[in-house]
Structure 1
Amino acid sequence: MDQEFNYFYNDEGFGPAFKKQDVPKSSIEKNRGKLPDQLLQYWNEYGWCGYGNGLIWIVDPEEYAPVVDAWLEGTPFEGRDNYHTIAVSAFGELFLWGETTGLAISISSLWGMIFPGDESAGVAEGKGDLMIRGFFVGLDKDMLDESDDAERPLFDRAVKKLGVLNAGQMYGLVPALALGGSCDLKHLEKVDAVTHLIMLAQLGERQIMQDVVADAKAAGLLDGR
């Protein structure tokens, strides 16, 4: 276990892994050259599985390919890069790796928001493995959690009420916010993640949020980094 993954697993308390699915060698080879070797190494050692009692899941990108298509269709990102879902939170936050743009997009499906970024320079310089280690170091339980309308965290209460998630599941609001629902524990249900995420993408206009890093670079605040 490298230093960064150890920090994620032990110091941040995301371990132990559970609901582990061993990754076929064919899947690792299929994604070689598309995803960083560091991520493939994690797959090989730890599998596709949940961490933080199911707060974050490392997933098979192929399973979530229809979700990526649904969310990016009609946006400026459609066709810009080949994007792969590498992780999904318990509430359907998606983390996408672009083959040329790196950790370029996260999607808050609950709120219909797409957060863009661009790490093309780092990918071109061969820093993909470093980015993946940084991704795990940067995961934070409070940020991955969702809060109800009264600003109370939902995850632990959802686990207590509905039970832990299985692979391929998420906690979804029924009805969804776009259909007039409210962010409240009583509206949470265990749902099939792929089906629910595609449905959310089709409900309403997706909001593309500001890329603050790009804005800072354009203003000369990051010295082109």
Structure 2
Amino acid sequence: MPVVLDPETQKVQPDQPTDFTLRNQSGQRFETNFYNWQLYKRVDGDWYYIMPRATPQLQTPLADGEAHTWTLTVTTGSVSDGAAIEIVQDTESLPVDGLGGGHYAFATDGWFEAGSYEEPIALAASFDLQADPLQLTPTAAIAETEWDGETLVARSTRGEADDSEDERDAYILERIDDSEPDTEEVIIEQVVRDDQLRDAIALSLEYEAARVQLEEFNSGIPPFGLEDARTYEFRGDYYRVTTSAGGSA
């Protein structure tokens, strides 16, 4: 038995800490990154990457005969209460919210000292999360909404103005009729981890708005880090997202 990833259980309950242990019994060092754990969800036969959205790039070798344990604790309730999903970057304790019930996989990867990082070995352990489905709601950062013709305009409290003349940038979501070549299909566990996409889709559904303009102060260049339009498919509907710098929307 070389390197294995052992789950403590394959049935996970909310608020129940669950261990996933990487064991090295290969006879050689296993090069890995304990920050580089990954969480996936399987929906309708396809796997979707959930988190983390960013990973510190460190090397944390696992010597022969040693083991490393991550403890996953799924909490519930904050999404329906309007809380934003907290970023989780840790090598041991992983408190995670924003997951609905279903089939998941906890994973990591690495390579043996005689191998290469360009050909990593993937390890995964699947489990069923026994929890209610997520409900898509806007974050509590939405301070006000109003109609401007056919566009629902929403303003959030995220970000701060650089000076008195600074204007909010615009994150614009439009419902479109058909898929496009670069359309990305997303599930709710992915949507709730993107505050702007979450707010825009949730408001579009709540107000039956075909176009939502979310305005907030954003330090990104380009705004929200989006240089080109993006298209998404969510629950059978198609959306195009564009951005505009403050004062030019």
| CA radius of gyration, larger in | 2
TM-score of the two chains, using structure 1 as the length reference: 0.23
TM-score of the two chains, using structure 2 as the length reference: 0.22
Q: More strand by proportion, 1 or 2?
A: 2
